[in-house]
Chains A and B, each alone.
Chain A
């Protein structure tokens, strides 16, 4: 039972990941594709955050620096995966911003952001 309770995070990650990937593949609208990509990236961020959490762990702050009593019994969560995700979040934002900027340019150039339409216009226009 406790094994299942410990694993539900992964189920959430997998569901999110597949939702994102499915959105990217199935949606015709480029903006929706970008949003799907975003969900896809967030699932991995959730995975890393879950990695760092230790049962009963508290925020990893070095107590002695503040002159507080140092309790050696305290369990800390692992801060490293959380810190790594700051970078991954920045990467995600950059990707989303660039993707949406491209969508704006595509809208200006083609007058549509529906993929099927874009393919049709390109085929009619040749190379």
Chain B
């Protein structure tokens, strides 16, 4: 049974998605999708424990041995990522589709769950596969389902947001396909590990350089690296809040992981950082993302757009960790991937609660909200503190790792830049808190009541875990460090 877990991880949500269409009943489908997410989480955790103890699991699909057949390859890094994706899905799905921001009527909500499970399938596929072409297929499964999910948002701007994401996303996906083609041309294999070996003798050729370029641009569009982030603020603003919570916590993260895989597994650090000097491109862009994202967030009047720009800044921290080319840096990036997933997912769910009652996501409409929805406001405050990186929250831990990595490289200026951009986060978080806490309540707020309990507990599970993982860091730190060492080939 254990041996088949990598395949089950992908196949389970894939098969569950069409079942949603057959079941149709809104409540039944909701329970069904939640159970599938929990089962997937159980599989992912089992794999993570197994890989921590026994090392990599390799699964030959259909019994065709690699490198000829498709290989699913699960090491600590992949299992870590699968745990994050399924974990976030397990908390978001019980929350429900968040009808307040959903455009479709209740009797057709089963389609939301179908698209959601398909999106999860794609993300898990990208996490566990060891085959380059498979990555492309799963990237497209994820993208197509997320365009659909974004277009489900209320209001017509969700449609244009989904459309521009579709155009950008397809260009990104096609670039990845072309890069895989170029690599295949040079090596004659699609298995990532085998490809890495066979690329070694031809590393100096221009074809390989071009392939690397296409890979990087394609993956960067998907992970919304500055300046390729144009699709993201609109998409997260106009998508249903629950979808924003799920996608911001997982989709960009998995794309980041694909980039890490491309850098370390396929091309190797020696080529990427030694010959091409990718860090000369990635580091300035990451720093720019950290600052531009945070500054842009300060000027937003719409809370979801504010969070979207903040996501762009946080992605900058992750790519910064990658660009340092050290175990410490990559550990920081991976820890931040996990922590940011929790806090941003939690914050978007908080926003979902607020819009559910207020029917608005403008910051000015939230004046005095602390008096009417105290727990929700508190959740936002804790999540916001974590975004800033206050000690005792998860955000502090990841920034601690990044600062440490910068200091170990002797780059004090880099550590200072990380701290400075964290201070900018105070600006946009305080802007929202101030309105909620200190402004006199508006008419709209006077008439609200706290959100129902079923919508509050998922928020507190996410926000609570940012505090838990801020105080208890053994688990995240150890797993991320082992994952980073595995990715860099040191284990």
Contacts and interface: CB of A to CB of B under 8 A. Distances in A.
Interface of A: 21, 24, 30, 33, 37, 40-41, 44, 47-48, 51, 81, 84, 87-88, 91, 94-95, 98-99, 102-103, 105-106, 109-110, 118, 122, 127
Closest 3 CB pairs of A and B: A109-B156, A91-B140, A102-B163
Contacts of A48: 181
B151 A44 contact: no
7 contacts: A94-B140, A94-B144, A95-B140, A95-B170, A98-B144, A99-B167, A109-B159
Given A37-B167, A95-B144, A105-B151, A110 B178 contact: no
Chain B contact residues, majority secondary structure: helix
A95 B171 contact: no
Interface in B144-203: 144, 147-148, 151, 156-157, 159-160, 162-163, 166-167, 170-171, 173-174, 177-178, 181, 184-185
B181 A81 contact: yes
A37 B166 CA distance: 10
Given A37-B167, A98-B166, A99-B166, A51 B156 contact: no
B177 A88 contact: yes
A84 B133 contact: yes
Contacts of B173: 91
Nearest to B156: A109
B181 A37 contact: no
Nearest to A104: B159
Nearest to A51: B185
B362 A127 contact: yes
A124 B181 CA distance: 45
Given A30-B163, A99-B166, A24 B171 contact: yes
A105 B181 contact: no
Contacts of B147: 98, 102
Contacts of B167: 24, 33, 37, 99
Contacts of A44: 174, 177-178, 181
B174 A122 contact: no
A109 B301 CA distance: 24
B354 to A, nearest CB: 16
B431 interface: no
Given A51-B185, A102-B151, A127-B302, A41 B159 contact: no
